[in-house]
Structure 1
Amino acid sequence: MPLFHLFLVAVIQGLTEFLPVSSSGHLILLPALTGMQDQGQVIDVAVHVGTLLAVILYFWSDVRMALSGIPRLMRGKVDTQGAWLAMCLAIATVPVVIVGLILNLTGLDEMMRGVAVIGWTMLIFGLVLYWADQSGTSHKTAAQWSIRDAVIMGLWQVIALIPGTSRSGITITGGRLLGYARHDAARLSMLMSIPTIMASGVLLGAKVAVSADVAAARDGAIAAAFAFFAALLALSLMMRLLRTVSFTPYVIYRVALGIVLLVYAYR
């Protein structure tokens, strides 16, 4: 695959994976609107790995705490912050893994990969994010994450299986409606992305492991590196801006793109 194409796919994935604008929607739109060749599942796996490494690095203190709690959680003890965080993350991930597997096995996930679908989800869930951000209170912090809230945010995350919804956008929406401050809702959303990206990466990786060759592996490594740096940049900027700026700029982008896509789809 040409280097520019790899760069374009990786940067789109890296920049949009954690911003509330939908990475999957943008990656579907790239070949649909430009006529470029679809990047294929090997590159999909690679850019997911790149973004996964970026979020782990950025939130390493939280990740390390959760990892330290897993042994205690496996022994049935939830008596540390790490064990509690690991348990909540596991609970929040279960719904999207189950529904995602069903959609993948039935082929329904491929049926939703259309410009019109992405246009509607961009528009509708952009407005829902705006409503949640403006009406939601800010009386909770990430340290107060409860099992109930993990379940609710996990169910919100299932909606992100519809292309164009945005996994980060919809979980942040859920977090804001539950009363989490903007920065804390985004932090929980990013932590939830780690097991979710791992699960989708394993599913995609199992599909391509038997067919990948040396050239594909080389392209994948290049794409993963590009995606890593793009995702790290996007994460750093968003988390810094959220201390002073609302989600309105992302909403404006989503609504504008949604309208353009709907005009394109139905013209």
Structure 2
Amino acid sequence: MTWFQALVLGLVQGLTEFLPISSSAHLRIVSGVFFGGDAGASFTAVTQLGTEAAVLVYFWRDIVRIISAWFRGLRDSSARGFDYRMGWYVIIGTIPVGVLGLAFKDQIRSGARNLVVIGVTLIVFALVLAAAEKYGRQRRPIEELTLTDGVVMGLAQALALIPGVSRSGGTISAGLFLGLTREAAARYSFLLAIPAVLASGLFSLPDAIHPADLATANLQASGLQLLVATVLALVVGYASIAWLLRYVVSHTIYVFVYYRIVLGVIVLVLLATTGLTAT
């Protein structure tokens, strides 16, 4: 991997991680279309540490409050308010992606990164996102989040193990179907991602530096390139969070639906008409 490629991919990760358009799909598409290779699932997972660091910084007060309330609630049942319950919602909602991520680790790093799969998934889940926006009642604030909401959105997050689904897209869609407001669904989506992404990134760090399978990860980054790409993802990701939370308060998410469909179609057309390979 060249330095230019590392910087571009770090920028792409930061721009797309929190938008419902799939950062892993974008990294795979940019790598394949412009750089003629694939940086690999591990590179994606590690650079996501940067964007999750942005979540930690942006939501620091919320995170500290939730963790403190969770520990207090363990000791004192009278202190079990919403923040205590939110701690459990994040823990329980993380279980599906953890279990499925370990069970299908090899498939996620190989077959799921096929550009045909990504192109189709971008389009299919664009329609899911559109249906959620159209039919979701969007009346419930985050204070009305329940355990059922946490479990359902956790299952939706697990679908994002497939590039093209989008972690935020899956969880926000599920939240809208459950009647949450766009802002509430987005906020819980960010919090829910923290444990899973941090664990995935740390687990993938050795393989990102020394890929076990160069056939599927043929753009190998050095440790320094990986670090710089991750820091860039952090800075750009922070700005992306702030923008999205402001945007969803007063705008629909149809713009992301249209974007996903157009991108998915472009990928499929390039595969059919050029020398671009799916794997």
TM norm structure 1: 0.90
Distance in structure 1 (CA, Å) of the matches to 2:27 and 2:206: 21
1:216-240 deviation line (CA, Å, top 9, x unaligned): 3322221122111110111111111
Distance in structure 2 (CA, Å) of the matches to 1:25 and 1:128: 17
Shift of 1:132: 0.6
Q: Which residue of 1 aligns with 2:226?
A: 220
Distance in structure 1 (CA, Å) of the matches to 2:54 and 2:139: 29
1:188-209 deviation line (CA, Å, top 9, x unaligned): 1111111121121132135458
1:68-110 deviation line (CA, Å, top 9, x unaligned): 1343465595713332111000111000110011111x44541
Q: Which residue of 2 aligns with 1:266?
A: 272
Distance in structure 2 (CA, Å) of the matches to 1:76 and 1:115: 51
- 1:89 pairs with 2:108: no
Q: Which residue of 1 aligns with 2:132?
A: 132
- 1:254 pairs with 2:271: no
Distance in structure 2 (CA, Å) of the matches to 1:88 and 1:7: 35
Shift of 1:165: 0.6
Q: Which residue of 2 aligns with 1:121?
A: 121
Question: Is the 2:42–2:201 Cα contact (8 Å) retained in structure 1?
Answer: no
What amino acid does structure 2 have at the position aligned with 1:82?
A: D
Distance in structure 2 (CA, Å) of the matches to 1:110 and 1:73: 43
Q: Which residue of 1 aligns with 2:160?
A: 160
Question: Is the 2:70–2:85 Cα contact (8 Å) retained in structure 1?
Answer: no
Question: Is the 2:22–2:165 Cα contact (8 Å) retained in structure 1?
Answer: yes
TM norm structure 2: 0.86
Q: Which residue of 2 aligns with 1:238?
A: 244
What amino acid does structure 1 have at the position aligned with 2:71?
A: P
1:106-156 deviation line (CA, Å, top 9, x unaligned): 445411111111111110101110111111002211111111111111111
Q: What secondary structure is seen at the aligned counterpart in 1 of 2:113?
A: coil
- 1:100 pairs with 2:101: yes
Shift of 1:46: 4.2
Relative to structure 2, which stretch is displaced further, 153-162 or 215-224? 215-224
Show the 5 A alignment for 1:1-267. Answer: 1-39=1-39, 43-72=43-72, 79-104=80-105, 106-107=106-107, 109-205=109-205, 207=207, 216-267=222-273
Distance in structure 2 (CA, Å) of the matches to 1:217 and 1:119: 30
In 2 relative to 1, CA 138–226 (structure 1 residues): closer, same or farther, beyond 3 Å?
same
Shift of 1:176: 0.1
Give ranges in structure 2 of 5+ residues lacking alignment.
212-220, 274-279
Question: Is the 2:118–2:264 Cα contact (8 Å) retained in structure 1?
Answer: yes
In 2 relative to 1, CA 208–264 (structure 1 residues): closer, same or farther, beyond 3 Å?
closer
Q: CA RMSD in A?
A: 2.2
How many residue pairs match? The answer is: 263
Give ranges in structure 1 of 5+ residues lacking alignment.
none
Question: Is the 2:172–2:185 Cα contact (8 Å) retained in structure 1?
Answer: yes
Q: What secondary structure is seen at the aligned counterpart in 2 of 1:112?
A: helix
What amino acid does structure 1 have at the position aligned with 2:247?
A: L
In 2 relative to 1, CA 41–133 (structure 1 residues): closer, same or farther, beyond 3 Å?
closer
Question: Is the 1:52–1:198 Cα contact (8 Å) retained in structure 2?
Answer: yes
In 2 relative to 1, CA 97–266 (structure 1 residues): closer, same or farther, beyond 3 Å?
same
Question: Is the 2:115–2:267 Cα contact (8 Å) retained in structure 1?
Answer: yes
Distance in structure 2 (CA, Å) of the matches to 1:128 and 1:255: 11
Distance in structure 1 (CA, Å) of the matches to 2:178 and 2:157: 14
